[in-house]
Structures are given as structure tokens and as C-alpha cells.
Amino acid sequence: MAKAVQPRIFILLDELAAFEAVEGPTAVSAGRPSNDEDQDLHTWVGTIIGPSVIVGGRNQSNFCDRIYSLKLHCSDKYPYEPPTIHFINKINLPGVDPTDGRVDPSKFNLLKEWIATGNPQQHLKFSISSALYELRTYMQRNYQLPQEEENAVYDCYKDNR
């Protein structure tokens, strides 16, 4: 007997509850924009705390302790396709469009696998949290890349802050 597929809205509500239940510091977070009236939970905001990388007893990461804000959009096909993700803060990272911060899902293993998976039950292992952690891990691997001035934002977001 096939398992019932959980409705999209319940999956997103579960993810929201998981983010809200976290106590103490965490490297990634997400939630709903305070001014958003979208009852279908399409629009989300996220945060990634830049990772540190200790080499020779010193932090060498150009991302260290920076706070990166993100905008996420979960289409009506979520969780069968990943959210569209944009960095609001400028970031120099392969797979992120340098003009508008859009994350290219084909450049990140988890997002690429998310797209390729055809089995609905397999999609339950993917989440907004796992996508944000994937990006943070990628930042850690690219820790030596030079970065924009801290708090710099893409032009398309300057009026929205």
C-alpha cells in the first residue's frame, strides 16, 4: 500500500515549526517575512552565519561571522522541486549570480539531486534547512575567496531593506 503524500502546506508548516523551535545559536535559520500575507507560504527569508575555517591556529575564512540574508521562494511544486534562493547580501561564491545573488541549483549537489529525484517519498529528505546548510558548507569549502564589503547588498534589494 502506497503511503499518503503529505500536502505541501503541512510540510512547510512543519519546517517553519522546526526553525521556530530551535533555542540558542544556529548557523542557519529561516522563517516568514513579517510583512508577508501569503497564506500559501511561498515567500521565506533565511540567514546564514558565515563559517570560520581554522588553519594554523588562526581563522582564515573570508566569510567568518558575517551574516548573510537570503530570500527564498517555494513554488506550488515544493517539496518536489527546491526553493528558488537568492542571497540579498553580496557574496563571491561559484554558483551564485554576481549580479543578483541567485543561486544556480545545478551547481550545488543537494539542489541538483533534489531536482533529479523523481520519487515523492525521497523528497522528504530535502528541506529549506538542508538547502541552507548545503550553501554554508559550500562557503566553508571556498573560504579563501575574496568577499565584498560586509553588509553590501545587491542593487535589486537596496530599496527593499
CATH assignment of the domain containing 141 = 3.10.110.10
In a domain, 157, yes or no: no
Residue 86 belongs to some domain of the structure: yes
Q: 123 and 114 in contact (C-beta within 8 Å)?
A: yes
Q: Work out the angle at residue 9's Cα, subtended by the Cα atoms of residues 5 and 14, and round it to the nearest 5 degrees.
A: 90
Residue 2 covered by a domain: no
Domain count, the chain: 1
Q: Comparing C-alpha atoms, which of 31, 38, 46 is closest to residue 89?
A: 46
CA gap 115, 79 in Å, rounded: 10
Confidence bin at 159 (pLDDT 50/70/90): confident
The residue behind cell 508548516 is: 13
> Does residue 48 form part of some domain?
yes
E-strand ranges in 25-82 read 28-31, 43-49, 54-55, 58-59, 67-73
Residue 1 lies in a domain: no
Q: Is residue 159 part of a domain?
A: no
pLDDT tens string 53-112: 998 999 899 999 899 999 999 999 998 889 999 999 999 999 999 999 999 999 999 888
Task: Please give the residue range of the domain that contains residue 20.
Answer: 8-148
Flag whether 160 is in a domain: no
Assigned domain for 112 exists: yes
pTM: 0.89
DSSP state, residue 116:
H
Classify the phi-psi angles of 160: left when phi > 0, otherwise alpha if psi is within -120 to 50, otherwise beta.
Answer: alpha
